Every structure is written in C-alpha cells, then in structure tokens.
Amino acid sequence: MLELVGEFLLSFFIEPILDGVIAPLLAPTFKQESSLRTNSLRLGITLILNTVIAGGGGWLLFESATTSPVSGAAIIVGLSIFSLGFVLIVRAIIKYGAYIRELRHIRTAKRDAEKPYQEL
C-alpha cells in the first residue's frame, strides 16, 4: 500500500516538476522558432544555475579537503557535484553553439535564395 502511495506521489507531483521545470533549466533545448534573445536568456539562466551547482561542489570539495579529519566520501561527493555542474555548463555552451551555427546556415540559405531576384 505504501508503495502505491509513493508511486502516485512520484508520478503526480515530482515527475512534472522535474520534467517541466528543472530539466529545461539544467539542459535546455534551443528552438529555431524562438528568438535569439529568448534562447540567449535561456542560456544565461542555465549557466547561472549550473555555476551555482559547480560552485557548491567546489565549496564542498574545498571544505572537506581542508578539515582536520579528511573525509574521503565528502571529497568524492564534492568532486562529483563539481564535475556535474561543469559538464552541464559545457553541454549548454555546445548546444548553444550548434543552435547559432544552424541559425547562421538558415540565414545564409535565405540570403542565397534571394540573390537571383536581387540581380534582376
């Protein structure tokens, strides 16, 4: 019975929050239909959140490494959180670069398609 309640809570409350709010912020998809300003804002918000994650991991790593009894588990967790934030930052920048490249190709194709008509 408790499993059913937990599964209901997970599927009804937590999954929509994860899929609808947190996932687009941490790993955004840049849409061609959206404006450049909207996608740049999405990148900025993503970079801020991922920098906070990486900073939290770096802080935990630094604090656990400088304490008197060094905890190996805390160092591993701090390193994992730091690397997660760093990987998310790099991934967002690569996706944004691919979006800009695709946008440039679309604009070039439109300009090349209009050239024959401009020469007449």
Asked, for residue 115, whether it belongs to a domain, the answer is: yes
Q: How many domains does the chain have?
A: 1
Residue 21: inside a domain: no
- Burial of 15: CB neighbours in 10 Å, binned 0-12, 13-18, 19+: exposed
Task: Provide the residue range defining the domain that includes 45.
Answer: 30-119
pLDDT of residue 99: 93
Q: Kindly state whether residue 112 falls inside one of the protein's structural domains.
A: yes
pLDDT at residue 56, rounded to an integer: 92
pLDDT recorded at residue 118: 65
- Cα end-to-end span (Å), the chain: 76
68 to 63, 64, 65, 71, 76: CA distances (angstroms):
10, 9, 8, 9, 17
Residue 44 lies in a domain: yes
Q: Residue 25 falls within a domain, yes or no?
A: no
Inside any domain, residue 114: yes
Domain membership flag for residue 4: no
Whole-number pLDDT of residue 73: 85
Give pTM, 2 decimals: 0.73
35 backbone dihedrals φ, ψ, rounded to 5°: -75, 165
Tens of each residue's pLDDT in the chain, 120 residues: 666 676 776 677 667 766 666 777 777 888 888 888 999 999 999 999 999 999 999 998 888 888 878 788 888 888 999 999 999 999 999 999 999 999 999 989 888 888 776 665
Residue 16 lies in a domain: no
